[in-house]
Chains A and B, each alone.
With several copies, the nearest count.
Chain A
Amino acid sequence: MSRLVTRDPIDVARLTMEISDAGRGGTVVFLGSVRRSAEDGPVTEIEYAGYEEMLSRELAQILDEAHARWPNAACAAQHRLGVVPVGEPSIAILAAAPHRAAAFDACRFIIEAAKRRLPVWKHEHFENGTSQWREA
């Protein structure tokens, strides 16, 4: 199985393969990407820092909770840390199930829990050389 935390680009195709199965007809993938919004100013890059031991543990637990609620679904997740260029995903959540409703619900459950519980922070670097921690 893929690691839950990576410092490399997230390989979505590989994660999709991991949860694919002839019995699971619906697959939902969520990709959360570094977004450059108007109020951000000239961000050159964003660095994701995490409390890594807790991050892996918490993400594994969220996946366990999803499995308990949707036993027929297969789920996978990966969070990227380190510098993530604008436009590339920092998190990928995948859920495959025999029917699409469970796949959508499980995927949504996992990303909502991840946003609420994963110990990760964003360090923004600006063109003028300064940087700051972004509060969610």
Chain B
Amino acid sequence: MVFSYRLGPASAVITVHCRFFARYAEVLGRDSLELRLAAPASVADAVRELRTTLDRGAHLPERPLAAVNREHVPLEHALADGDELALLPPLAGG
């Protein structure tokens, strides 16, 4: 499924592969989706979009832990086309 976001004629569009884990996957009823965003877009922009457009998206926190391409990133991190964005519930490993 693809969600589009504020696409004007002058905007470049990027597609981000979103992944959800543990409680987030349970709440959203899915563990991944493709998200289209107008560039430039940060992780925070992607989270805002997911929270407003997904069923039960409001159950995601406004400032979740996030990883891009399997590395922890701050919410200000700029997304690039093809990135894998993962939203991580509070970690409980070890």
Direct A–B touching in the complex (beta carbon < 8 Å)?
yes
Q: B-side interface residues toward A, CB under 8 Å?
A: 19, 21-23, 26, 67, 70-72, 86, 88-94
How many A-B contacts are there with CB distance less than 8 Å? 71
Q: A-side interface residues toward B, CB under 8 Å?
A: 32, 48-51, 53-55, 57-58, 79, 90-91, 111, 114-123, 133-136
In whole angstroms, what is the CA distance A134 to B71 when docked? 23
B89 to A, closest residue via Cβ: A121
Q: Do B23 and A133 touch (CB < 8 A)?
A: yes
Instruction: Tell me which of A53, A58, A117, A135 contacts B92 (CB under 8 A).
Output: A135
Known: A49-B21, A121-B91, A133-B26. 4 other contacts (CB 8 A): A54-B71, A58-B70, A119-B67, A133-B22
B65 to chain A, nearest CB (A): 8
Q: Given that A51-B19, A117-B72 are known contacts, is A135 also in contact with B89, CB under 8 Å in the complex?
A: yes
